[in-house]
Amino acid sequence: MTIAAADFAKRLDQTAEDTERLLAELLSDTLLPDEIARPKRLMDAMRYSSLGGGKRLRPFLVSESAAVFGVPREAALLAGAALECIHCYSLIHDDLPAMDNSDLRRGRPTLHKKTDDATAILAGDGLLTLAFDIISRDEIHPDPKVRLLLTRALARASGLGGMVGGQILDLAGEGRFGDREPVDVARLQQMKTGALLRYGCIAGAILGQGSPKEYQALDDYGRALGEAFQIADDLLDVEGDAAALGKPAGADAALGKTTFVTQLGIDGAKQRVRNLLARGDAALSIFGAKGDVLRATSRFVAERKN
Ligand code: GRG
């Protein structure tokens, strides 16, 4: 079974729309208990970088992996919004002069260009901490054990052994702290970009209280999808179109980065993506037709133009 391209696009758009609505609510001026004030400059900056852009792929992974288990959609969307807050924070900080020093993101000036470095750092910090507020909320799941598992897994995906750790390995590989350090591209990817994407997939199994086999299946699928995403990103940097990307292409080559494409060549990288798609499909076989949307998601990730 496969899902028609139009149906897939509709589902993706619906989740993007629902996530946008939810993020706008979460980033409103309304104070939560124990909050003292929501400063306007900070809120405007957080909204600028979180609303009105992005494919919302990570929330989509959460909602579709949760749908496999029949989890209520509003709970999955809330968990997806928490993950998207982490993603948006990472983009803000990654764009800073001390990191990638980028001027454009999602086709608009990066936050520090629009405002200033201090505001961008604090907006990133605000989104990072808001994510943990959201993921620990009662509405996510009635069982506090489930909320704890989701929260801990989010910390591990985002933190020192996940995305943040991957970012420092990436900078070390660029020679930012002295001589260029050797890069294990697959491990770097698994940490820097893969960990959040994998979280999107295992979050469904945690929310749905899946069996160990079901959790493992989504874990395997999430790892394959994460690697395919990164290879597609590396290919886009070589073959992509700046207008579609919303940022200049060729950034990796300019920095002399080791990527899947520099290691495997263009054809080798494309073959690896095909192998990863097959690996993802095999992992999902346990779910039968319920895995169709996730199967289509790997194709979307591999074939995306931005
Ligand atoms: C600064 C702690 C810290 C971490 C940054 C993930 C990361 C680490 C930086 C992102 C840099 C980057 C552009 C990596 C390429 C892959 C990637 C994450 C692309 C953007 O993700 P998409 O395509 O973006 O899902 P949208 O805009 O659709 O949300």
pLDDT value of position 247: 65
Pick the residue whose CA is nearest to atom 20 on ligand 1.
91
Residues 6+ away with beta carbon under 8 Å from 17: none
Distance between Cα 115 and ligand 1 center (Å): 20
The whole-chain average pLDDT of the chain stands at 95
CA distance 40 to 201: 34
CA distance 89 to 274: 31
Q: What is the DSSP string of 92-126?
A: HHHHSTTTT--SEETTEE-HHHHS-HHHHHHHHHH
Task: Look up residue 235 and give its two tokens.
Answer: 């290919």
Q: Which atom of ligand 1 is nearest to the CA of 105?
A: 27
DSSP lists the bridge partners of residue 105 as 108
pLDDT value of position 16: 98
pLDDT digits (tens, 9 = 90+) for 121-155: 999 999 999 999 999 999 999 999 999 999 999 99
pLDDT value of position 76: 98
Question: Token match 């074939």: residue?
Answer: 303
Distance between Cα 245 and ligand 1 center (Å): 12
Q: pTM to 2 decimals? A: 0.95
Decide: 90 in ligand 1 pocket, CB within 6 A: yes
Confidence of residue 35 (pLDDT cuts 50, 70, 90): very high
Task: Look up residue 92 and give its two tokens.
Answer: 């803000």
CA distance 189 to 167: 9
Distance between Cα 206 and ligand 1 center (Å): 24
pLDDT digits (tens, 9 = 90+) for 153-172: 999 999 999 999 999 999 99
pLDDT value of position 179: 93
Contact of 86 with 128, CB cutoff 8 Å:
yes
Decide: 93 in ligand 1 pocket, CB within 6 A: yes
Q: What is the CA radius of gyration of the chain?
A: 19
Q: Which of 84, 121, 192 to mutate to test the pocket of ligand 1 (most atoms within 8 A of CB)?
A: 192
Give the CA angle between residues 23, 90, 104 to the nearest 5°: 90
Question: Token match 């990654």: residue?
Answer: 94
Lowest mean pLDDT among 1-10, 19-28, 105-114, 214-223: 1-10
How much is the average pLDDT of 31-39? 98
Q: What backbone torsions phi and psi does residue 2 show, to the nearest 5 degrees? A: -130, 165
pLDDT value of position 1: 56
Decide: 99 in ligand 1 pocket, CB within 6 A: yes
Q: Is the pLDDT of residue 62 over 70?
A: yes
First to last CA, the chain: 27
CA distance 214 to 149: 16
Classify 72 as helix, strand or coil. Answer: coil
Q: Which atom of ligand 1 is nearest to the CA of 306?
A: 23
Residue 117 vs residues 31, 168, 247, 280: alpha-carbon distances, Å: 26, 19, 19, 40
